[in-house]
Amino acid sequence: MTTLLTILVLVLVAIAIWQMTKIFELSQIKADNSQVASDKDNKYNGYLMFAFLIFIYGITIFSFWKYAKFLLPEAASEHGAEYDSLMLWSMVIIFIVQTITQALLHYFGYKYRGEKGKKALFYADNDRLEFIWTIIPVIVLAGLILWGLYTWTNIMDINDEDDPLIVELYAQQFNWTARYGGGDNVLGGANVRMIDINRANVLGLDESDPYSNDDVIVKELHLPVGRKVNFKFRSQDVLHSAYMPHFRAQMNCVPGMITEFSFTPSITTEEMRLNPDVVDKVKRTNAIRAERAANGEPNSDPWEFDYILLCNKICGKSHYNMQMKIIVETEEEYNAWIESQQTFSQLMASMQ
Strand partners, 222: 327
pLDDT at 168: 93
Please report, rounded to a whole number, the percentage of residues in the chain having pLDDT higher than 70: 92
Amino acid 352: pLDDT: 65
Q: Do the strands 240-244 and 307-311 form a parallel or antiparallel pair, or are they unpaired?
A: antiparallel
Distances (CA, A) of 193 to 167, 186, 189, 196, 205: 21, 21, 12, 9, 9
> Which one-letter amino acid corresponds to residue 272?
M
Burial degree of 326 (CB within 10 A; 0-12, 13-18, 19+): buried
Query: Which pLDDT value is given to residue 45?
Result: 82
- Cα separation, 252 vs 313, whole angstroms: 8
pLDDT at 30: 53
Q: What is the pLDDT of residues 190-247, one digit of tens each?
A: 877 877 776 677 888 877 878 888 888 899 999 999 999 999 999 988 999 999 999 9
Which residues have CB under 8 Å from 294's CB, separation 6+?
A: none
- Taking residues 9-32, report their average pLDDT: 68
What is the rounded CA–CA span in Å between residue 335 and residue 344? 18
Is the pLDDT at 96 greater than 90? The verdict is no
pLDDT at 1: 55
Confidence of residue 27 (pLDDT cuts 50, 70, 90): low
Query: Any idea how long the chain is?
Result: 352
List CB contacts of 317: < 8 A, sequence separation 6 or more.
Answer: none
pLDDT of res. 268: 92
Helix or strand run (H / E) with residue 86:
helix 80-111
Confidence of residue 299 (pLDDT cuts 50, 70, 90): low
137-187 pLDDT tens trace: 889 889 888 988 888 887 777 777 778 999 999 999 889 999 998 888 888
Q: What is the mean pLDDT of the chain?
A: 83
Q: What domains does the chain contain, in order, with CATH numbers?
A: 165-351 (2.60.40.420)
